[in-house]
Structures are given as structure tokens and as C-alpha cells.
Amino acid sequence: MTLPEGFFPRIGFIIQNYYGSFLSGVGNTMLIALVSTFIGCVIGLGVGIVQTTPTDKEKNPAAYYIMAVIHFILNAYVEIFRGTPMMVQAMFIYYGSSMVFGIDLSMYQAAFLIVSINTGAYMAETVRGGILSIDPGQTEGAMAIGMTHYQTMTSVILPQAVRNIMPQIGNNLIINIKDTSVLSVIGVMELFYTTKGIAGAYYTYFESFTVTMVIYFILTFVCSRILRAIEHKMDGPDNYELVLSDALTMGEGNYRVRKPESNTNRDLAEKKLRSSAESAIEKGNQREGL
Amino acid sequence: MSEHVIEVKHLSKSFGDHEVLKDVDFNVDHGDVTSIIGASGSGKSTLLRCINLLEKPTSGEILFHGSSITGHDTDPCKYRAKVGMCFQSFNLFNNMTVLENCMTGPVKVLKKNKEEARSTALKFLEKVGMAPYINAKPRQLSGGQKQRVAIARALAMQPEVLLFDEPTSALDPQMVGEVLSVMRQLANEGLTMIVVTHEMAFARDVSNHVVYMADGVICEEGRPEDIFDNPKDPKTIEFLQRFTNR
Ligand SMILES: Nc1ncnc2c1ncn2[C@@H]1O[C@H](COP(=O)(O)OP(=O)(O)OP(=O)(O)O)[C@@H](O)[C@H]1O
Ligand SMILES: [Mg+2]
């Protein structure tokens, strides 16, 4: 095999000969990024939920002090992993785990671990912010019908918080797709490491990394579009259908609702219904002498 | 004579150095509609929030059917399932449809099955005239509609007492009527209610007990005709004059 002359022929040559390596690099990168983002979000949710759980010092002092210790540990986790470079963490954990703890992590175990706990540290803060940003009225509304803190969190606060932090989850996924490249320092065969190998074979650094650059961009762009679509789906339909029964009772007055021509035009339908409801209430009020 | 449903005894509440409620005493009997009126900042909301245990009283006691709910051994969730509350800002669950808003409490708290919860929710949504909107999200509703859904959500828990904190204050005048008419109907049906309100006509016509608060104390309380037609306390007289002069 001889390397052709010229930029584009060389790119063609690289793709033709190394597409298998590129694909496996992409596979590893995406696997690590997707799985670790998911695990990181789970960690972040857990930490964020614990950090926003109220404890009553007077009612349950033991729980209060245990929580204080847990809070301290979680804060340390967040600060340390946000405050140090992932590349350094990769070296530290990969080599440190066997030397200090005698745990023999495989390269890939280390990769998933590092990216997950890194994402977790960022997500913890995001989740905490997401939970705190939900109007306290939502919590009060839930408490007022007797829901426990746990029920309030799972059915009211978290669904809203998760929706609000979806852009941040997307952000983290994109960062992770790019930042898995630092795992090359411990020899993980992701896209960057693979490209280095390909480039080295014929000294085609510029051409190989052009290909890789495009691949990274396609990966992040497609992911961000998919996430945007998921967000849109989570918001639910913009319109709602009125459910019309024959007679609805309102106040003292009975009124009938004529079926509006079209459900898609919600403003029109709503206006019609509202005005008929209002006139019914007015009638009711007049009867009562309001 | 039967016992009181709710008894507030020597209730005080401070936020830091700021004493918001001072030695408040009052009772609510079964079927009473109590209106709490008074100037802004007089502690009406705080009193109501204490009754629903959303605020912790600094001292004093609140009894529900004769037993204290302010001690450590009461489960606030169980108590709140029986004493509902509607807020000035509605506080509907934004992630749920109108129907889900009204079903969550019965399903999660009262452990009813979905079918049963659905039919109760529909019954109360129909009562407040919101049945056509069961698939709407709160952000798609007007203020008056939101408040009516909030009332249906509270009613779906089939509470013994319902607390209202200025349910119409955030509404346009035309929407006030639709909410008050629902509340008037509830009162006629004998629901025990405590209503903080600036709607003097409602306090006068619908309630059977009026409490006037000023600076964290109950200045005067009694039957509406006594308070409105024959106020004794100079503060009450001044407060009511401001309303009639408007
Ligand atoms: N969480 C809080 N922290 C500190 N101060 C508070 C808090 N809630 C209420 N207050 C204070 O308590 C006083 C009474 O408030 P409250 O909301 O009970 O009045 P209100 O009678 O309901 O007034 P309005 O008619 O405006 O609703 C106010 O001076 C207010 O500043
Ligand atoms: Mg208030």
C-alpha cells in the first residue's frame, strides 16, 4: 500500500484503510460517554436529592447529625472532582487503585468509573440547583394534600427538576463525548487514541485528525439534536382537547356546552367555553343575589 | 354540645425577633365558615399556615377534635389529608394535567385505586365546572380556572376542613366571581371552612363567624352581622370604614 499525494486522496486512503479502527474508536467513545453520562446523572440525582432533604434537628437529632456528616462527605466529593482535571483523576485512580487499595481495575472499568464520578460531581450541583429552583409553592401544594417528602419529590419536584435540567444533561453528554479523549492517557482505545495510532502509521496527522474532527462534530451535533427532540417530547402537546359531556353542573345553574367546531383551535374553543361558563355563573350569582 | 373541630390555644409565632402572632385563641365548630379579615401583614396567612402545620408555632397549641397536633407525635401528613388548603397562588402541580392533579392525592396519600380516584376527581371537577379541561396542563388555564382546579384537588381528598388563603386575590375581578360562587356552594353544603379574605361581601354573606386580626392579635370576632354592623373595637371600625369608603 502506498500513500497517495494530496490532501483529499490521502483522506480517502485513510478512510478506506482504517474505517474499521475509526468505527471501533467511535464505538468506545460513545459507549463510555453514554453509559457514564447515565451513571453520572444517577449519582447526581442521588447526591442532589440527599443534599436537599430537610432534617428537623429537634424532632430527630440523630438523623440530623448523620445527615450533617453525609453532607460533608458529599460536598467534599463534589468539590474535589469539580476542582481537579479529569486527566489527572484518570492517572490518579487508574494507578492509585492498584497501589493503594490493591484493586486491579481494568482500563475500561477505570474509564467508566472516572467519567461517571466526574459527571456525577457536576450533575449533583445541577440537580441541587434544579430542585431548589422549583417554586416552593409546588412543595406546599403537595404538603397541603398530605403528601410525604418522598412522595412530593418523586411525583412533583423531580419530574419538573429533571425537565429543567435536561439541557444540562445534554451539555454533560457532549462534554463527555469530547472529554473521553483524555482517557487516552491511560490507554483507553477511544476515538482520539485510535486516531493517534492511525496518524502515526503514515505520518498523516493533519489528514487523520481532520477526519476525527468531523466525526466528533457529527457525534455531538446528532446527540444534541436528539436531546432537543426528547425535551420537546417531555413538554407534551401544546394543545389540549376539551372533554365535553352533555351537561355539566356549575354552581346552581346548569348549562350546556355546544361542541366547538375544532379542537385544534384551542383559544377559540376555550373562549367559547369560558364565556358560557361565566354566563352560567353570573346567572347562578344573580339567583343568589350576589 | 359537641367538641370543637379545631381549637387554637394561646398560639404565638415569631420569625426571629419578629413576633407575628401573639397569643391567638379561637375555635372552629363543625360546619362553621370562618372568615379571617384584617390588614396586610397582620398575620392572617401565618395563622392559617400554622393551622395546616406549614409553619411551626413558637408556642401554644392547636387541637384537632380535642387532641393536640402540635406535639412531636402527630404525623403532619395524616393530619393534612383531613385539613386541606387552597393558596393564593394556586400551587397546582405543573407537571400534571388537571385530572392528574386531582388524582395524585387520593392515589398516593389515601391509597385509593386509580378507577375510584378518577371518578371522585371527575365528580369534584364537574362540581367546580372544570370537567372539560381534564387534559389541560395548569399553564394552559386562566387564574380563575386554576383556582377552581385547586379547590377540586383539595376536595378530592374529602377533607373535614378546608383552609383558603386569599383564594381570589390573584384574580381579575371577573374571575373572582367564578371562584367565590364555588366556595359559596361548598359553604351551603356544610363544609367546614376557614377563609382568609379581602372580599368583605363574602365574609359578610357566606360566613357565620368573622375574625378581625390586627398586628398579630385577634381584635374582635363574632357573627358577621355584629362585626360589620356593630363593630366595637376602634381598629375594626377604622378597618371596615376603609373598605366601605372604597
Ligand atoms: N417566612 C417568614 N419569615 C419572616 N417573616 C415572615 C415570614 N412569613 C411572614 N412573615 C412576616 O409576618 C408578618 C405577617 O405575615 P402574613 O403573611 O401572615 O400577613 P397577612 O396578614 O397574611 O398579610 P397579607 O394580607 O398581605 O397576606 C409580616 O410582617 C411578614 O413580614
Ligand atoms: Mg397573606
What's the confidence (pLDDT) of residue A269?
42
Average pLDDT of chain A is 84
Q: Which range scores top for mean pLDDT: A38-47, A265-274, B69-78? A: A38-47
Region A134-155: what's the mean pLDDT? Answer: 95
Residue A93 has pLDDT above 60, yes or no: yes
Ligand 1 centroid to Cα of residue B41, in Å, is: 5
CA B173, CA A115: separation in Å to the nearest integer? 56
Per CB-CB distance under 8 Å, the chain B contacts of A242 are 132-133
Is residue B140 within 8 angstroms of chain A, CB to CB?
A: yes
Q: Residues 4 to 43 of B: which have CB under 8 A from any A CB?
A: none
Ligand 1 centroid to Cα of residue B244, in Å, is: 25
Residues 6+ apart with CB under 8 A from A213: none
Residue A41 has pLDDT above 80, yes or no: yes
What's the confidence (pLDDT) of residue A245?
59
CA B53, CA A233: separation in Å to the nearest integer? 38
What's the confidence (pLDDT) of residue A177?
96
What's the confidence (pLDDT) of residue B243?
78
Report which DSSP code applies to A242: -
Region B213-223: what's the mean pLDDT? Answer: 93
A and B: number of Cβ contacts within 8 A: 130
Region A218-233: what's the mean pLDDT? Answer: 94
Which of ligand 1's atoms lies nearest the C-alpha of B46? 18
Q: pLDDT digits over A158-170, tens only?
A: 999 999 999 999 9
Task: Give the 3-state DSSP-derived string for A122-135, with helices as H, strands as E and coil as C.
Answer: HHHHHHHHHHHCCC
What's the confidence (pLDDT) of residue A235?
85
The helix/strand/coil state of B63 is: strand
Ligand 1 centroid to Cα of residue B42, in Å, is: 7
pTM: 0.82
The helix/strand/coil state of A214 is: helix
Residue A189 has pLDDT above 70, yes or no: yes
Percent of chain B topping pLDDT 90: 84
Which of ligand 1's atoms lies nearest the C-alpha of B18? 5
Percent of chain A topping pLDDT 90: 65
Neighbours of A133 (CB within 10 A): 11
Region B185-206: what's the mean pLDDT? Answer: 93
The helix/strand/coil state of B146 is: helix
Nearest CB to B131: which of A151, A155, A248?
A: A248
Q: pLDDT digits over B175-193, tens only?
A: 899 999 999 999 999 999 9
CA of A278 vs chain B CAs: smallest distance (Å): 7
Residue A270 has pLDDT above 80, yes or no: no
Per CB-CB distance under 8 Å, the chain B contacts of A141 are 87, 90-93, 150
H helix or E strand, kind and range, residue B213: strand B209-214
Mutate to test the interface with A, among B93, B102, B128, B172 (most CBs of A within 10 A): B93
Q: pLDDT digits over B41-82, tens only?
A: 999 999 999 999 999 999 999 999 999 998 878 889 999 999
Cell numbers standing for residue A97: 487503585
CA A126, CA A91: separation in Å to the nearest integer? 26
CA B170, CA A154: separation in Å to the nearest integer? 29
Of A289, A8, A37, the residue nearest A173 (C-alpha): A37
Residue A265 has pLDDT above 60, yes or no: no
Residue A277 has pLDDT above 60, yes or no: no
CA of B32 vs chain A CAs: smallest distance (Å): 20
Task: Give the 3-state DSSP-derived string for A21-74, with helices as H, strands as E and coil as C.
Answer: HHHHHHHHHHHHHHHHHHHHHHHHHHHHHHHCCCCCCCCCHHHHHHHHHHHHHH
Is residue B217 within 8 angstroms of chain A, CB to CB?
A: no
Nearest CB to A141: which of B78, B93, B126?
A: B93
Cell numbers standing for residue A208: 487523520
CA of B121 vs chain A CAs: smallest distance (Å): 14
Task: Match 429552583 to its residue by C-alpha cell.
Answer: A133
What's the confidence (pLDDT) of residue A273?
46
Give ligand 1 pocket residues (Cβ under 6 A). B 15, 18, 20, 38, 40-46
Residue ranges near ligand 2 (ion) with Cβ within 5 Å: B 45
Ligand closest to B38 (CA) is 1
Region A211-237: what's the mean pLDDT? Answer: 93
Q: Is residue A240 very low, low, confident or very high in pLDDT (cuts 50, 70, 90)?
A: confident
Residue A163 near residue A134 (C-beta atoms within 8 A): no
Region A138-148: what's the mean pLDDT? Answer: 95
What's the confidence (pLDDT) of residue B246?
57
Q: Are strands B67-68 and B59-64 parallel, antiparallel or unpaired?
A: antiparallel
Residue A285 has pLDDT above 70, yes or no: no
Residue A121 near residue A78 (C-beta atoms within 8 A): yes
What's the confidence (pLDDT) of residue A97?
85
